Structure 1
Amino acid sequence: MPTIKLIATDVDGTFLTTKRTYDHARFARQLQRLQAANIRFVVASGNHLGHLQHVFAPTPAVQTFIAENGALIVDHDQTLFADPIPLPIVRDVVRAILTDPTLRPQIFRLSGAHGTYIAKNDHTDAQASQDYYVNNPVLVDDLLTVDDTIYKLNGEWPDQDSKAQAATLNARFPHQIHAVASGFGSIDIIAPHINKAVGLTKLAQAWGIAPSEIAAFGDNDNDLEMVRHVGLGVAMRNGTATIKEAANLITPTDNDHDGVLNVIDAILNQQV
């Protein structure tokens, strides 16, 4: 197997425990070893940039983020790539979803460059979770009036099968969007040509790194393209059956038992 030169990881259900923590001291030591070995570390998540920067603030050496499922890449506060959803398509999709009782989610959000837009009349059953993930909320009377660069739409369908609902959305808006289950009844809606693999490819090409020289960790359907694309695709033991089928390796331990950190050690020790 080629030498690994880049490690990319999803965050929720993957790098973080179910209590949204990670071993700061152990990971900081790993980052030093990764730097010494010329292995780059990248965060690849469906979350917005500000949230990711907050999560990794305890380990400031982490400075490269593939956010919004690949639609935004930032390295050391410099935007390397941005591919938002065209605003006319955003408005068409929002209008169609919110006016169709069979499609309407419990809550709908637009993740933009200047905030996460939420309709004032929408309410979530998981307010604490929303407060955690959305640290830039902007309450609006009507999502159709939002005028911003929109990277992602996100909705909660807690009473639906997320994969089936995502398939329904993709069938309803062919060639306009790519809807994918992102966990906990949530579905991310991004541009049809965007996913984490696209973002990771652009970043790796800028650094002269081949796909075969990348290891990527994920646990859910929005990680599929990334895990399939790289030389060492790693699925979490706690991941979905789909991601496990796509992976080259399943972590021996789950996200609550340092699944990612254990495999990083194995990579550093040339045991995988």
Structure 2
Amino acid sequence: MTIKLIATDLDGTFLRNDRTFDVARFNRLLDQMEDQDVKMVVATGNKVEQTLHYFKETPTNRLTYISSNGAMVSDTTGILYKRPVSKEQIKKVLDWNTQTRAKMENLIVLSGIKAAYVSNHATPEMIQAVEQFYPKVIQVEKFLEIEDDILVMELLWPENADIKYFVQVLRKKFGEELHTTGSGFGSVSILAANTNKETGLEALSRIWGIKPEEMVAFGDNSNDLEMLRYVGHPFVMPNAAEFMKERISQQAKADNENDGVLETIEMLLADQSQD
């Protein structure tokens, strides 16, 4: 098989549970990928600024980023593709949340290109929690007056909340108008319609002229499913939930704690070098 692009999710997939990875090993693989003309893509729900932090010891000009669950694609030259949520759609979600707030306490985070935004009513503890995932957090009086492209609306519930239930409720409410997915960290991500990691790969397919059957992808959670189903060579992590293994049969060579993505990439590149 011919591989021209490898994409990987981060949390629970490429990164260990302490959010580290074998930097030296990965950098050696990037050298091999460059020799074989294979593109490396990081596909994550994180903002690109947070993603860059993980790769501060890696030549970033060798990486392309599908960030905010597919709402933006970028590299060191700038933004290649973006798909923001409209103000009208933001208002609809805010109205829905206000009407149902009595039944479910949550925190709203609007993730934009410039920063992440939370309400002035957010407590210091809430902001501290959000800052773990967003490098720049700004409190605002009115969400609809933000001057930024909002890529993702995040609704964060307590850890014991039934996120799958909220995803189903929001999908029923907004149908095809918005894309709703669970993040796996007690939050629901709401994006523009037809926006996910697959659409980010589709954009790169158009830009680079790479076919889906020439792509490899790694993932562990429901927000990876569209991407995994799009590529010719999908790998689910052994540490993924059972429902993911039922949908994607091929597993990486090891789990995220044991560098399963790197292990599998080494195997794929070795096989390709012998063709």
Q: Render the CA deviation track for 1:106-148: whole Å, top value 9, x for unaligned.
A: 2110001221001132359776653221101111133343232
The alignment's TM-score, normalised by the length of structure 2, stands at: 0.92
- Which runs of structure 2 are paired with 1:169-184 in the superposition (5 Å)? 169-184=170-185
Structure 1 residue 214, shift from structure 2 partner: 0.3
**Which whole-Å CA distance do the structure 2 matches of 1:264 and 1:254 have between them?**
13
Retained in 2: the 8 A contact 1:105–1:155? Answer: no
Structure 1 residue 103, shift from structure 2 partner: 6.6
Cα root mean square deviation, aligned? 1.9
Letter in 2 for 1:57: K
1:83 is aligned to 83
1:64 is aligned to 64
1:203 is aligned to 204
Q: 1:213 to 1:102 in 2, by over 3 A?
A: farther
Retained in 2: the 8 A contact 1:14–1:236? Answer: yes
1:39 is aligned to 38
The alignment's TM-score, normalised by the length of structure 1, stands at: 0.92
Q: Render the CA deviation track for 1:206-243: whole Å, top value 9, x for unaligned.
A: 11111011000111111000001101111111112232
Please say which of residues 97-106 and 182-191 is displaced more in the overlay. Answer: 97-106
**Which whole-Å CA distance do the structure 2 matches of 1:156 and 1:179 have between them?**
13
Letter in 1 for 2:11: D
Q: How many residues align?
A: 270
Q: Secondary structure at the match of 1:110?
A: strand
Retained in 2: the 8 A contact 1:94–1:144? Answer: no
Retained in 2: the 8 A contact 1:109–1:117? Answer: yes
- Which runs of structure 2 are paired with 1:13-162 in the superposition (5 Å)? 13-61=12-60, 62-101=62-101, 104-123=104-123, 130-157=130-157, 158-162=159-163
Q: 1:86 to 1:3 in 2, by over 3 A?
A: same
Q: Secondary structure at the match of 1:234?
A: strand
Identity %: 36
1:214 equivalent in alignment to 2:220: no
Q: What 5-or-longer segments of structure 1 have no aligned partner?
A: none
Q: 1:105 to 1:263 in 2, by over 3 A?
A: farther
Q: Secondary structure at the match of 1:188?
A: strand
Letter in 2 for 1:35: E
Q: What 5-or-longer segments of structure 2 have no aligned partner?
A: none
